[in-house]
Amino acid sequence: MTKRFLVVGHKACTTGDFSLNDMPGGAGRMDVLCRCVNSCFFLSHDLRHDVECFLVLLGEPEPPKTILIKGNEVRYLSPDERSAGSLIKKALNLPCGESFRESTKGIYVRKGNLKRLLEEYDFALLDENGKDIRAIDPVPESFILSDHHNFTEEEEEMIKNLPKVSAGPKILHADHTITVILNEMDRRET
């Protein structure tokens, strides 16, 4: 089973000319997405090989783009935000079309939006009003989250019929939500 997390970066920069020193500002909160990448993949002295992370970047100047990171292929990724940011920069510097093109090992980029991914995979929506992940059996394989912004009205329309799942009683940042969901999945597998 492949686990998938899709994070929508509503203002995240879509070319590679942002500064790693200003990811919260000039790069449109790319730092949020970098922390989500960390949460998707890092274990103590290991990577989660069964996870794929999709980042849908909707900021200027070339939206929409989608970055895909595959846990079973990725190389050169360290846990710090700058490391993920640097690999995302490289991918965004690559000319891309409608199909995924590999940038560095295990990291891919294509033109494409949320709608296309919704057609490709069955996602559940991580939402504070959803059903508690601990009460769901079986746990879904693929999840959608937003960055620090709410989904737009247009996006809400696309995702309104997805099953809604909650990570707990408090509203968490996207990266913390991924960590909690993966911990529950770890427990189900044991």
Q: Which of 11, 101, 116, 176 binds a second copy (CB under 8 A)?
A: 176
Q: Which one, 117 or 126, has the nearer CB to a second copy?
A: 126
Q: Using CA atoms, how far apart are residues 161 and 31, in angstroms rounded to an integer?
A: 29
Query: Does position 179 bind a second copy by CB under 8 A?
Result: yes
DSSP-derived 3-state class of residue 136: coil
Tell me the backbone φ, ψ of residue 149, rounded to 5 degrees.
-95, 155
- Residue 96 or residue 181: which is nearer to a second copy going by CB? 181
Q: Is 126 annotated as a binding residue?
A: yes
Q: Minimum Å distance from CB 20 to a second copy?
A: 8
Count of residues of this chain found to bind a second copy when the rule CB under 8 A is applied: 36
Q: Kind and range of the H or E element at 40? A: helix 30-41
Q: Which residue has the tokens 């849908």?
A: 56
Quote the tokens at residue 86: 């640097």
Identify the H or E element spanning 143.
strand 142-146
- Within residues 87-146, the interface with a second copy by CB under 8 A covers none
* Using rule CB under 8 A, residue 43 touches a second copy: yes
* Secondary element (H or E) of residue 61: none
35 binds a second copy (CB under 8 A): yes
d(CA 33, CA 12): 8
Task: Give the whole-angstrom CA distance, residue 157 versus residue 145.
Answer: 15
Which segment (17-25, 61-69, 100-108, 155-163) binds a second copy by CB under 8 A? Answer: 17-25
Q: Which residues bind a second copy (CB under 8 A)?
A: 20-21, 23-24, 31-32, 35, 38-39, 42-46, 78-83, 148, 167-173, 176, 179-180, 183, 186-187, 189-190
Q: Residues within the annotated binding site for S-adenosyl-L-methionine?
A: 126
